[in-house]
Chains A and B, each alone.
Chain A
Amino acid sequence: EVQLVESGGGLVQPGRSLKLSCLASGFTFSNYGMNWIRQAPGKGLEWVASISSSSSYIYYADTVKGRFTISRDNAKNTLYLQMTSLRSEDTALYYCARGVGLLDYWGQGVMVTVSS
């Protein structure tokens, strides 16, 4: 069974940093591109970043470019999102999702709240 479990969220002050993790199981993680998508409270979905299976290509939304870094450790079956210079508008539920284009499995999400 494919499982994606996010962790690392919480309450953080504006300007601070936070690192999210997504632990994958039930499939060969190193064969799949991965994504981060977020959803602000009561709002729609916003794609944040994507990384290929071997980390050879990476894409970011303009809203996070230069502040967020997506990475992965295929030996640990884990996807990461390093978030710096956090803003109130980054407050959202952050999902990891499997696949380039397909986004066929999603985790349950982890909440990040940016507030003083």
Chain B
Amino acid sequence: DIQMTQSPSFLSASVGDRVTINCKASQNINRYLNWYQQKLGEAPKLLIYNANSLQTGIPSRFSGSGSGTDFTLTISSLQPEDVATYFCLQHNSWPYTFGAGTKLELK
């Protein structure tokens, strides 16, 4: 199985900050990596698919990069509504595997 190591586990940042979250795969997953945002009590929402494609309706301050084993989610200017937990998902091969999550809070 492909292991997804997500970092950091917790992140505190200020409004307007540039925020980066990383996921590292235990083997090559090409670009088959999605990023999700989950707010408290809500279902996950797809932000980025296939490493760098922005899902329809998602603000352009969210972006994704990477390929192979190393991936990054970037929020260019943090907004209060971005407080959430963020997960990566590899869908290169079954079993699909998620990162453990990054909890993002406002400083």
The total of chain B residues at the interface (CB under 8 A) is 22
Contacts of A108 in B (CB 8 A): 42-43
CB <8 Å contact, A109 and B43 = yes
Q: A101-B34, A102-B49 are in contact. List 16 more A-B contacts (CB 8 A).
A: A44-B87, A44-B99, A44-B100, A44-B101, A45-B101, A46-B98, A47-B98, A61-B95, A100-B91, A102-B46, A103-B91, A104-B46, A104-B49, A104-B55, A108-B43, A109-B43
Between A and B, 11 residue pairs with Cβ closer than 8 Å are A44-B87, A45-B89, A62-B1, A62-B95, A101-B91, A103-B34, A103-B89, A104-B46, A104-B49, A106-B44, A107-B43
- Nearest chain B residue, comparing its CB with the CB of A101: B91
The total of chain A residues at the interface (CB under 8 A) is 20
* Dominant secondary structure of chain A at its interface with chain B: loop
How far in angstroms is the closest Cβ of chain B from A75? Answer: 26
CB <8 Å contact, B43 and A101 = no
Most chain A CB inside 10 Å of its own CB: which residue of B42, B46, B100 = B46
Complex: A102 Cα to B43 Cα, angstroms: 15
Complex: A46 Cα to B4 Cα, angstroms: 12
